[in-house]
Amino acid sequence: MSDTPTRDDRPAGADQMLPIDGNPAEQPQADTPARGYTDEQKYRIFNKEFMPHIDSMYNFAFRLTTDEDDANDLVQDTYLKAFRFISSFEQGTNAKAWLFRILKNSFINDYRKKSKEPAKVDYQDVETTYNSEDAETEHTVDLRAESVSDLIGDEVATALNSLPVDFRTVIILCDIEGFTYEEMAKILDIPIGTVRSRLHRARNLLKEKLRDYASSMGYKEESDE
Amino acid sequence: MQTSLPSSSPVIPQSATKEHCDHQVDCLKMIQLILDGEATEQQVAKLKIDLESCQPCIKMYHLEREVKELLAKRMEKRCCPDELVATIKSRILSFS
């Protein structure tokens, strides 16, 4: 695929390396297999495989930062990083997951601290809370499908935005972007079991928010709380 | 990458006999696996049996499916601003 490598010789085993396992956002040089793409190949990959995902990337960035300027900066940083470390991407593999992983890492490293949102509860705390015994005896949120179907997009977006960012993230990746659990595990650097349980808790939280909306709109819930 | 609900979704009967479920949290987790397209065939078959008899599970199934569809279809999707696309492309060109 690369007859005229312009940068590095490709290390042995580079082809076996899953591109998503390279970690351009954090340690680009360390254990990233370099592919010797020519400049022409780089631009072609960038335009054909990376740019088609830019709307999804922008939406992801906006939902993470909840701020248009931050979303702009985050998407730009992510795409520049993606180009700079394009040699760790294997052509024809899952570019969307690869890009989402860079964006998510950039968000954690560069944006979370300066986020304009009020200080968020760290997910460890939240996860511990929801991991407790109480959480297991809980919790199927008393909300009816019919009430949900009357909610509009804005209300859902507000409910989603009110969730701690790690819970928001799994819902965005799974329900809005349609990633599989396996892809989410790679994007988020967590085990699949954690994806599953975090998603479960995130959905319970979201349904609680939606129930609050539904009841504030006057739908009668058969709640025995 | 799964984008829609699995075609193997159980068919929900109109009437069910059981009005109380002792395993709601586990059933809910199973329902989510199925709607996410991550369940095995055995899990789908098992839930299908549950859903034939258990009223609370039927309700949970409908609610989970409704919330998932709401997120997939009714959230505003923004387009990346044209200026940002242009900026990225011109920054990339200056790299080589």
CATH number for A150: 1.10.10.10
Interface of B with A in 44-73 (CB under 8 A): 56, 59-60, 62-68, 70-72
**Contact list, A144 vs chain B (CB under 8 Å):** 59, 63
Question: Residue B28 and residue B17: Cα distance in Å, rounded?
Answer: 19
Q: In the beta sheet, which residues pair with residue B18? A: B54
Question: Residue A207 and residue A144: Cα distance in Å, rounded?
Answer: 10
Question: Residue A203 and residue A59: Cα distance in Å, rounded?
Answer: 20
Q: Where among A88, A111, A134 does a domain terminate?
A: A111
Considering the domain boundaries, does residue A107 fall inside one?
Answer: yes
Q: How many domains does chain A have?
A: 2
Q: Where are the domains of chain B?
A: 24-93
**Contact list, B59 vs chain A (CB under 8 Å):** 144-145
Considering the domain boundaries, does residue A65 fall inside one?
Answer: yes
Say whether residue B23 is in contact with chain A using an 8 A CB cutoff. no
Beta-carbon count within 10 A of A215 CB: 14
Considering the domain boundaries, does residue A176 fall inside one?
Answer: yes
**Residues contacting residue B93 through CB under 8 Å, at least 6 positions apart:** none
**Contact list, B76 vs chain A (CB under 8 Å):** 153-154, 157
Length of chain A: 225
- Reported as half-sphere exposure (CB side, CA atoms, 13 A), residue A169 has a value of 24
* Of A9-18, A96-105, A201-210, B58-67, minimum mean pLDDT range: A9-18
Paired tokens of B74: 């009714």
pLDDT tier at B41, thresholds 50, 70, 90: very high
CA A66 to chain centre: 14
DSSP A18: -
ipTM of the complex: 0.82
Q: Residue A136: exposed, middle, or buried by beta-carbon count in 10 A (0-12, 13-18, 19+)? A: exposed
pLDDT tens figures, A49-99 = 999 999 999 999 999 999 999 999 999 999 999 999 999 999 989 999 999
Q: Where among A111, A137, A153 does a domain terminate?
A: A111
Same domain as A173, residue A127: yes
- The residue of chain B nearest to residue A201, with distances taken between CA atoms, is B29
- Tell me, yes or no, if the pTM score tops 0.80: no
Contact predicate B28/A140, CB 8 Å: yes
